[in-house]
Amino acid sequence: MSSRSSALIIPDSLLAKEATGVLREHSTDLLFNHSLRVYLFAAEQGRQKKLKFDAELLYVAAAFHDLGLTKKFSSENERFEVDGANAARQFLSAHNVPEEQVHTVWEAIALHTTPGITHHMRPEVALLYTGVGLDVLGRGFDEFPSDLREQIVSNYPRTHFKEAFIKEYFAGFARKPATTYGTVNAGVCERFIAGFKSPNAVDLIAGSPFPDSK
Q: Where are the domains of the chain?
A: 10-159, 173-208
Cα distance between residue 168 and residue 105, in whole Å: 23
Query: What is the pLDDT, as a whole number, of residue 156?
Result: 97
Q: CA of 128: how far to CAs of 89, 169, 204, 213, in Å?
A: 16, 17, 32, 45
Ramachandran class of 52: left when φ > 0, alpha when ψ lies in -120 to 50, beta otherwise: beta
- Tell whether the model's pLDDT for residue 2 goes beyond 50: no
30-57 burial, b for 16+ CB within 10 Å, e for fewer? bbbbbbbbbbbbbbbbbeeeeeebbbbb
By the 8 A CB rule, do 44 and 7 touch? yes
Query: Mean pLDDT across the stretch 202-210?
Result: 96
What is the structure's pLDDT at 90?
98
Element at 23 (helix H, strand E): helix 14-26
Mean pLDDT value of segment 184-192:
96
pLDDT (average), residues 76-81 = 97
Q: Which amino acid is located at 206 in the chain? A: A
Superfamily of domain 10-159: Hypothetical protein af1432 (1.10.3210.10)
- pLDDT of res. 87: 98
CA dist., res. 10 & res. 101, Å (int): 19
pLDDT at 1: 41
Distance CA 133, CA 65 (A): 13
Instruction: Write out pLDDT tens, residues 10-66.
Output: 999 999 999 999 999 999 999 999 999 999 999 999 999 999 999 999 999 999 999
pLDDT at 4: 56
Work out the percent of the chain whose per-residue pLDDT is above 90: 95
CA separation for the pair 1, 110 (Å, rounded): 35
Share of the chain above pLDDT 70, in %: 97
The tens digit of pLDDT for each residue in 126-147 reads: 999 999 999 999 999 999 999 9
pLDDT band of 214, cuts 50, 70, 90 = confident
Identify which of 112, 161, 141, 127 has the alpha carbon closest to the alpha carbon of residue 53. Answer: 127
